[in-house]
Structure 1
């Protein structure tokens, strides 16, 4: 028993979020897992130099006749430990998709407590058997890179209250490396009281069928099955983190987000990726970005996006991505947007220069960037094919972006005698005899006030060209990659 306490305490001490937390909300159903969690955390807390504030939260799902008795039991349990407690009864239980709806309602209740009590950590009694059951259920139903990772022991989570107010909390599951058998043994040795949920024996829930039928078969074949599942889950989580970190480094070159037109994928950048890497990145895009708009997707959806990328014979095509959403390729871009906007004109794409002294990829063979002039030697600057020197004050460094031309764009120029005048970008292109096919592809550098600073590769306006006592010299550079 003491060994179990020590093991859980060692796990908690590895988490900085636990060490810094002041208020802990314990999700207590009254079952053996959460009752043991409550007892263990209370015992660990009493040994701390600065004990944390513990709160008990119980959600009555109102799905069985004995649920109100469970709520009373948890209330008495919290009082026995002299803890603050909250209980809530689900007034209108769902009749369909019960598990998912119950989970959403439960976490909305927890979100209310978190907001009211300034909770730092929400702790649950999920254990190693739960992990194995969850992974097996997801594999049966169909899952993804993210889903097959199972349950994470410690992570930041966003919850929504019933009034749709967002709250952040640290989720902790300190029993995730502990088997159900170990938890039951602790409860028996401590003489802990708990309630039994009779619905855990019913066959109508997939989790119960996995727990009662499938998991025992695997355990019989290999008694170390749970430990093997944990090792696999930890490897998958580490692998996912590595893939995701790699993806984040390249994401600015792969896609853009428009408030009006949603997601825009840059085909040339995706095409440069190898097949396996491209498909992994597409999956991460669906899992980490598109999930807010399209919560569920199919493997076919990724296949079809991949085909839009690699099939240059169909540079303009559209398909239904999911209910209410379409994917549309137009030459070098794939637009993913609500179906009702499919007939709107192609959006104006902005590429933001959000990092100083860093090359941004404009296209597959073009780089742009804003640099402190001292970042390069004079010889290096002379070799740059296109350079603009800008005198900028600190508050002027942010907000530069590139886009294609719009109707009415103008440049502020100097006539050579010190006189300033404005010229339409369209007239400049005509005067320079720039072919019509190239005009729509040219990039314009603009500032946060949407003033045109330069037609890249051709001409620069007079903005930011005069010295100022509080300004520093920066250079905007453009170059093409060598073949």
Structure 2
């Protein structure tokens, strides 16, 4: 029996490959459950990589015409993927669901049905366990999930392949067998055709126990999500530039919780960013080295940095290098992200220059001696990429009067007011 989770007034769309599973699903909807929905539409993806693809599309068209069901067929161009020798199964799946999303919106439909079954569930759990995809996603397939404006439902998820085959034989449901499903060069096919049958042949092994593992893992993942969200709410500071947290406190979290924390924060900058487990583990190894400053990653929209004892996630803003300014009169001036207000200049050797730091720049300390500007910035824990944008104010004799908000020569404190404007100051 199928699990009916849709309403009688729903417009159902069923994805049909013409394989035994999807044809049995379509047959049942037409002959056994016609009163459970308002309208039925069929979607079929023509992959175009097998000789039988044309024949399958023609067969499904005739079948749908005979049963007075609308069918939409989409020809998928996978030539680039094949030439580049990339994973055709993965890219074909992404392309299929992109088209499904588009068609569901175009048809204004409510529910998309797929023919995934119990054996697919076991195969998925094995695949995710043995490929390490267990830290941030559930082990198995959800029976129902919300997508972009519609629900994706898998009503046959509790049925085994043998159940479906028995139904097909009893009702003589026509279908096409995809010969590529037997090709064990694909990992999932190897699991389906070699590993699972071997397990089933041993009376002491039961694949049903994998479902228990799936449910337990799903509950654990929900718990980890709660821990990650609590950390964000209590330990992460959100400011004008982005997010900031103590590196020490972050590293105390379990690795899988760290990944979830970063997933949540990164997706606030980039909804489509997907960082792999391997990439995260590389970052964690670098964090553990306790380097003073390090850019872990940058994209067009965001970046993640180690800045002394902090881990920061901020917008990747490319800025124009501030142009040096020569000043002969009091006034208000903009230098990059800073506003500099100069009052009466009677006691200052003119002209005044506002410029970035230079090698060898030193400031006069209030007590005694001098300090390099580079050391001044290190002591203030100024991020490396901000140091060349801080204004250095110098008089005609080379005396440094001020360095951003970090330093002002005591004699001229009443003459110079410097304020940081934030990221709106000089964006490209």
Same topology, TM > 0.5: yes
Correspondent of 1:114 among 104, 114, 135: 104
Range with bigger deviation, 123-132 or 220-229: 220-229
Shift of 1:290: 3.4
Aligned-residue CA RMSD in angstroms? Answer: 3.8
The 8 Å contact of residues 41 and 71 in structure 2, kept in 1 or not, is answered as yes
Pair 1:330 & 2:318 matched = no
Equivalent position of 1:383 in the other structure: none
Q: Tell me which structure has the larger Cα radius of gyration.
A: 2
Post-superposition CA distance 1:58-114 (Å, at most 9, x none): 001111000111111221222233212111112444202211111122112212211
Q: How does 1:408-427 map to 2 (within 5 A)?
A: none
Rounded to whole Å, the distance in 1 between the matches of 2:309 and 2:141 is: 38
Equivalenced residues, count: 323
Rounded to whole Å, the distance in 2 between the matches of 1:248 and 1:141 is: 27
Equivalent position of 2:154 in the other structure: 173
Post-superposition CA distance 1:36-77 (Å, at most 9, x none): 1112233454244xx321111000111100011111122122
Alpha-carbon distance change, 274 to 335 in structure 1, aligned in 2, over 3 angstroms: closer
Q: How does 1:262-281 map to 2 (within 5 A)?
A: 264-267=243-246, 271=249, 275-276=253-254, 279-281=255-257
Rounded to whole Å, the distance in 2 between the matches of 1:146 and 1:222 is: 33
Alpha-carbon distance change, 246 to 222 in structure 1, aligned in 2, over 3 angstroms: farther
The 8 Å contact of residues 129 and 139 in structure 2, kept in 1 or not, is answered as no
Shift of 1:125: 0.5
Shift of 1:246: 4.3
The 8 Å contact of residues 46 and 74 in structure 2, kept in 1 or not, is answered as yes
Equivalent position of 2:68 in the other structure: 82
Correspondent of 2:222 among 241, 245, 269: 241
Range with bigger deviation, 125-134 or 26-35: 125-134
TM-score by length of 2: 0.65
Pair 1:205 & 2:186 matched = yes
Post-superposition CA distance 1:233-290 (Å, at most 9, x none): 122223222332443344333446789x6x624117x7189543xx333121344553
Correspondent of 1:154 among 113, 121, 144: 144
Shift of 1:131: 1.6
Equivalent position of 1:425 in the other structure: none
Alpha-carbon distance change, 111 to 157 in structure 1, aligned in 2, over 3 angstroms: same
The 8 Å contact of residues 16 and 22 in structure 2, kept in 1 or not, is answered as yes
Post-superposition CA distance 1:392-423 (Å, at most 9, x none): xxxxxxxxxxxxxx9669xxxxxxxxxxxxxx
TM-score by length of 1: 0.58
Equivalent position of 2:409 in the other structure: none
Rounded to whole Å, the distance in 1 between the matches of 2:57 and 2:237 is: 49
Equivalent position of 1:66 in the other structure: 52
Equivalent position of 1:19 in the other structure: 7
Rounded to whole Å, the distance in 1 between the matches of 2:279 and 2:98 is: 33
Equivalent position of 1:56 in the other structure: 42
Correspondent of 2:94 among 101, 104, 115: 104
Rounded to whole Å, the distance in 1 between the matches of 2:204 and 2:59 is: 35
List runs of 5+ in structure 1 lacking aligned partners. Answer: 159-167, 346-405, 410-435, 442-483
Shift of 1:172: 1.0
Alpha-carbon distance change, 241 to 57 in structure 1, aligned in 2, over 3 angstroms: same
Rounded to whole Å, the distance in 2 between the matches of 1:223 and 1:52 is: 46
The 8 Å contact of residues 111 and 153 in structure 2, kept in 1 or not, is answered as yes
Pair 1:318 & 2:294 matched = yes
Equivalent position of 2:367 in the other structure: none
Correspondent of 1:227 among 193, 196, 208: 208
Rounded to whole Å, the distance in 2 between the matches of 1:63 and 1:222 is: 40
Shift of 1:123: 1.1
List runs of 5+ in structure 2 lacking aligned partners. Answer: 323-336, 341-375, 382-428
Equivalent position of 2:163 in the other structure: 182
Helix, strand or coil at the partner of 1:225? coil
Q: How does 1:357-376 map to 2 (within 5 A)?
A: none
Rounded to whole Å, the distance in 2 between the matches of 1:344 and 1:135 is: 52
Rounded to whole Å, the distance in 1 between the matches of 2:58 and 2:66 is: 12
Shift of 1:297: 2.0
The 8 Å contact of residues 136 and 256 in structure 2, kept in 1 or not, is answered as no
Helix, strand or coil at the partner of 1:329? strand
Range with bigger deviation, 115-124 or 144-153: 144-153
